[in-house]
Amino acid sequence: MRLADQANVKWLDKKPYTRNLIPGESVCWEVHRNINGIEYRYWDPNRSKLAAFLVCGGRAFPFGLKSTVLYLGAANGTTVSHISDICPGGRIFAVEVAKNPFRELLALAEKRGNIIPILEDANHPEIYDRVVGQVDVMYQDISQRNQAEIFIRNSGMLKPGGTGYLMVKARCIDVAASPVKTIGICRDELEKAGFRVLEIVKLEQYEKDHAAIVVKKAPA
């Protein structure tokens, strides 16, 4: 059962759309729909793992109109742009280490005032943690072997009681191991670090050997 309509997220023909922060503007040539004078952009689960998470039955969705978000592995900003739509009064700190996609992310941020692009390696949060401060939501989509370790290193910026998303790319961690086993190891690492696992959603329909682990940070 899919998530119901949320603030700035609407399901049309069983597909997710986000209310366009900049009407008339596209990020990746996505379809636009006008509903009662409000423009929505198609949130393609083939391009965004967060959209895939929702389409695959994910329930945890803490993003509000003024949420602050730390996004690790922002790439060129496709998913970041939809979070920007959803949290128009918030801030999205988008961390990306590769220079080519960062140029596109920077161009996106110039149009959308709630995106703060950061050109850094997420393995070193001490470089940018003072800029970020404390956030409501932390989201990670990184193709490195130490994915859970990176998540835990950055979690000092997640507020007590905040929600975190770790998009596990199992084959990037261990190409020979069973993805189920690898995802389980990541879950165990997060639990050992004090997180409570809310749900684990496999993204096989859109991303082979991928899963979303959603966790809650312990309250203060």
For residue 6, the model assigns a pLDDT of 86
Give residue 220's pLDDT band: very low, low, confident or very high (50, 70, 90): confident
Tell me the residue type at 77: G
Q: Please check whether residue 5 lies inside any domain of the structure.
A: no
Tell me the backbone φ, ψ of residue 30, rounded to 5 degrees. -75, 155
* 181 in Cβ contact with 175 (< 8 Å): no
Q: Please check whether residue 130 lies inside any domain of the structure.
A: yes
For residue 4, the model assigns a pLDDT of 79
Give the domain CATH number at 197: 3.40.50.150
Domain total of the chain: 1
Dihedral in degrees, nearest 10, Cα atoms 103, 63, 136, 110: 20
* Spatial CA neighbour of 79 closest among 128, 33, 27: 27
Rounded to an integer, what distance in angstroms lies between the CA atom of residue 137 and that of residue 128?
16
Pairing of strands 115-119, 91-96: parallel
In the predicted model, is pLDDT for residue 25 greater than 90? yes
Model confidence pLDDT, tens digit, residues 36-81? 999 999 999 999 999 999 999 999 999 999 999 999 999 999 999 9
Q: Please check whether residue 120 lies inside any domain of the structure.
A: yes
Model confidence pLDDT, tens digit, residues 146-190? 999 999 999 999 999 999 999 999 999 999 999 999 999 999 999
Q: Please check whether residue 163 lies inside any domain of the structure.
A: yes
Q: Please check whether residue 71 lies inside any domain of the structure.
A: yes
Rounded to an integer, what distance in angstroms lies between the CA atom of residue 179 and that of residue 200?
13
Residues spanned by the domain of 191? 45-216
Q: Please check whether residue 26 lies inside any domain of the structure.
A: no
For residue 148, the model assigns a pLDDT of 97
Q: Please check whether residue 107 lies inside any domain of the structure.
A: yes
Instruction: Give the 3-state secondary structure of residue 61.
Output: coil
Q: Please check whether residue 7 lies inside any domain of the structure.
A: no
What pTM, to 2 d.p., does this model score? Answer: 0.97
In the predicted model, is pLDDT for residue 1 greater than 70? no
Tell me the backbone φ, ψ of residue 4, rounded to 5 degrees. -75, 170
